[in-house]
Chain A
Amino acid sequence: KAGVTQTPRYLIKTRGQQVTLSCSPISGHRSVSWYQQTPGQGLQFLFEYFSETQRNKGNFPGRFSGRQFSNSRSEMNVSTLELGDSALYLCASSSHRDRGSEAFFGQGTRLTVV
């Protein structure tokens, strides 16, 4: 079974630009969550989608948005990039909607904003 696939793996963008990151969950998984990882703030939850509906949202500005498609693939978008958005963005998929199901993580997208 293929794991969680995130594309691209690395990205360099300029301040003010926007970026879209993609996540393909494990086949059959309907829950996709996104996390931002930085040395200063650690792992912070961005949002979770289940069956195309946003279920939970973290404490991030509106520049961060996401969506999920009918095939469970998810994208997150960051508009008007700031230097502080440089981070590793991790996607996780889970098979169930409840809090007990295991989250499987992708390798992440390393975003650098210059």
Chain B
Amino acid sequence: QKEVEQNSGPLSVPEGAIASLNCTYSDRGSQSFFWYRQYSGKSPELIMSIYSNGDKEDGRFTAQLNKASQYVSLLIRDSQPSDSATYLCAVEGMRFGAGTRLTVKP
């Protein structure tokens, strides 16, 4: 079992819809969680970090963390074609999932 698991996708949503990305992790002691976006051929860039249970909102993005279930998710509201990318979940900064490829169709 990998330390950080993500739905490999691809995930396709229509423009304006909500995209939901999920991530589970194996180390119960993990304290810091990150979502990165990676466009094809580019390096990852941070979307959000989350450290406490619950929701954290930043514009169209909401990260949700449930440490008891070892689960972290990212919701993208009003999805735009420019959101089409691979989304990487990172735990404790260093352990990355394989990423979920998101396509937002106009």
Question: Do the two shown chains form a genuine complex with each other?
Answer: no
Interface residues of A (CB under 8 A from B): none
Interface residues of B (CB under 8 A from A): none
